[in-house]
Amino acid sequence: MKKNRASSIDASWLTRPEGRVFNNLTIADTAAGRAELALITGEKFMATAAKAGGKTVFADAKNQHYALHETTVSEKHPGLGKRDLVAELIQASKKRGLRFVAYVPVDCDMRAWREHPEWRPRRADGSSLVDRVGFPRLCENSPFKDFMAAYCAELAANYEIAGFWFDGLGLASAPEFCYCDSCARGFQELHGQPPPQKGAPAESWALWRKYRAAGLRGTMKSLRDAIRRVKPGLPLITGIGSGNWQNTSTDFLDYSDMAEHENAWSWAPASMQILRAVHGKTPEYYIPTFQYGPSYPLTLPLEELRAKAFTAIANGSVPTFTMKGRPELLRTVNRELAARSAYCVGAEELPYCGIVFSERSMNACDPAPFAEPSHFTTYGVLRALFEEKIPEQYLSDRQLNGDLSRFAVIVLPDIGYLPEETAEKLRKYVAAGGGLVAMHRTSLMDGKGAPMANFLLADLFGVDFAGELPETTELPPWFGDLRDGTEYPNSQKMKFLATARHPIVDELIRTAHSIEVMPEFLRGTPADCRLPFMAPMLKVSARPGTDLAMWEGAQEPGKKWPLVTTRRFGKGRVAYLAADLGRAYVDHHTFPYQRRIITNAVRFAARQRAPVSVEAPLHVQMTAFTQGERQIIHLLNDAHPHGLPPLTKQTWNGYYTNFSRVHEETVPLYGVKVTLDGKFRSVRYVPGEAKLPMTYAAGKTTVILPRLDLHGMVVAEKAGLPRPPERTTRH
């Protein structure tokens, strides 16, 4: 197998959603490990992969401890003896027409760990960053990255592999930010100061995060360059460490062909869309086929595997399954994916509403572990749009600076930091007729995360910053007794809103109340302020020509602090929401009126109806794509992906909260109606390719689905439909 002179590289498997199976052979050199390794052969392994419907097989060339093949750079697993497991796997895969992709952790190696203790990551106090499961972790910002680059080049030169799957990039150091000699010396040389520790100013932390991000980019570039000098075009997939992409820039993804996402870290639909926007390419959704939660080593049932796979393709991603469990279940799912595959490759989101996810703003304004403030903000907006079937897609910082004219409306969900050039681009976009919805701190923060005197986009919003409203409202005393002179404080941990007649304020919002018994029973609140609100909210003053749709009127009697304002700017419309309604909607306080404020603001600012509409229950997710002359509408009949809080919070014992549910059944739906702009020559339902009866009226085509199970695709063919515009991200 060595010194392979393989023919041209086939990278078609990167974006096909079916047949991707994975197994992690993490086996240390223990007695039990050697016994297990002796049982694993290339023939047995690939026979299982074939039974699972595998076409592209991801398996270890080197695990977290040892290589599983001959190597002069790393160290072969002592339990292999004269065996070369990678050669066995490749030979067995070729017999079955399968591709072998080498799994390689880039943050661990036993030989390097033993021979170079100076490469091991350290905490700020100098203590060792010991891994709780015994992985020999090393800092990728040290010379260890050159060690790994040499290893990868050797593997690419000597073995006929179809690509690399890199795991753990940034994992060893991101949560605690490695303070090894290499990191400390590099930062000192670059900035003339030691790395920041507890109590350091915000400016130092901002520099430190940028330095860490640059280190990740350098590591990934080194790996790519070393491999492609040997095998030009060999595909690379980057499995991202749990904390690094949320706390540092993801620019390192420019050096890989695909980014891997694991739903243990975040809400799957949003994270897949974010990676697609940031990376500009189809991401991969890594799916453990067992319950990855608090002490539940259970194989997942078929319906859960189907739900995860269809969630992936409905959000522009491709699923990869671990091979743990019953291969026939995976074969069933892979067969169902194959029936949909042709409509996934090359599909682009149908532009209507763009939700901005800004790494720059997140890193400057929300540098908390797992970056929950920024993520919860976008999760809430996405959930609201899902529930009301408004076509959306995420936009990254790069795309925000690209061509926005194809979007009817852009949503800036608490994007605290906006560069001046981006702000000016948004002004021009709205002036030309675009719609804008901005929330909370958008354009209020500088590049270091500190509040400025006013919004950078105050002229666009039509409001000026005046401070922040208190968390609690002091109302007139409600309990007590006037006869004995007692009055108890009436301090409510909420604000109370009033509404005006405005297109954003619909009946659901107007009739929502915080009263308990009858309309006259107000508990001391002003008669026109009956709507409770618990999210942080800014004080803003409205400029002339700005309309008030909702305001807080209980904290300072006689004073209206706007919550929702709207105004015209050139040919466009702007809606500004002074609170983080996205986070409020997803973080424990999921009141329906909050969803309606978000979605009504989007519709108002857009001015034009969406090019596709779906009549279905709230829990049905709709995503819209184009593929040449086709429009493809995904319908996902699954309440779980957005019916629970996002799964980002970790407990101190290392488990993940809110992650102990399993999807076991789907209730079928009948009569789901899909309406598309324009006239189509045919509309089919996938899977099955059955033609749907069409009704055409007033420039719209309507079809009614006879039945929707877990997932279906409405595929509409329209001759002459222009090809989707090019993506604006760099590749």
β strands within 476-514, DSSP E:
480-481, 486-487, 490-492, 495-499
Do residues 605 and 352 lie in contact, with contact meaning Cβ atoms separated by under 8 Å?
no
pLDDT at residue 230 in the model = 96
pLDDT at residue 550 in the model = 97
pLDDT at residue 596 in the model = 96
Q: What is the DSSP letter of 368?
A: S
pLDDT at residue 558 in the model = 86
What is the biggest distance separating any 2 CA atoms in the chain, rounded to whole angstroms?
Answer: 97
Q: What is the DSSP letter of 692?
A: P
- Express each pLDDT in 607-653 by its tens digit: 999 999 999 999 999 999 999 989 999 999 987 765 444 444 443 34
pLDDT at residue 172 in the model = 53
- Return the number of other C-beta atoms located less than 10 Å from residue 8's C-beta: 6
DSSP 270-290: HHHHHHHHHHSS--EEEE-SB
Q: Please classify residue 715 by burial: count the beta carbons closer than 10 Å to its beta carbon, then call 0-12 exposed, 13-18 middle and 19+ buried.
A: buried
- Return the number of other C-beta atoms located less than 10 Å from residue 714's C-beta: 24
pLDDT at residue 264 in the model = 63
Token pair, residue 226, equals 């070393």
pLDDT at residue 127 in the model = 86
| Contacts of residue 368, Cβ cutoff 8 Å, sequence gap at least 6 | none
pLDDT at residue 108 in the model = 93
| Contacts of residue 185, Cβ cutoff 8 Å, sequence gap at least 6 | none
- Return the number of other C-beta atoms located less than 10 Å from residue 640's C-beta: 16
Q: Which helix (H) or strand (E) holds 428?
A: helix 420-431
For residue 715, the cross-strand partners are 632, 684
Residue with tokens 């910053």: 465
Q: Which helix (H) or strand (E) holds 313?
A: helix 302-314
> Which amino acid, one-letter code, is at 492?
Q
β strands within 690-730, DSSP E:
690-691, 695-697, 700-704, 711-717
For the chain, the average pLDDT equals 88
Structural domains of the chain ordered from first start: 12-256 (3.20.20.80), 353-610 (3.40.50.880), 613-717 (2.60.40.1180)
The residue ranges of the chain whose pLDDT is under 50 are 3-6, 175, 243-247, 517, 643-659, 721-731
pLDDT at residue 404 in the model = 96
pLDDT at residue 175 in the model = 47
Q: What is the DSSP letter of 195?
A: P
- Return the number of other C-beta atoms located less than 10 Å from residue 97's C-beta: 8
Do residues 284 and 409 lie in contact, with contact meaning Cβ atoms separated by under 8 Å?
no
As a whole number of Å, the end-to-end CA separation of the chain is 33
Residue with tokens 């920041």: 196
- Express each pLDDT in 326-335 by its tens digit: 899 999 999 9
pLDDT at residue 246 in the model = 47
Closest CA to 408 of 375, 436, 443, 385: 436
- Residue 189, CA distances (Å) to 101, 170, 211, 420 in order: 39, 22, 11, 30
Do residues 320 and 285 lie in contact, with contact meaning Cβ atoms separated by under 8 Å?
yes
Q: Rounded to whole angstroms, how far apart are CA atoms 69 and 127?
A: 34
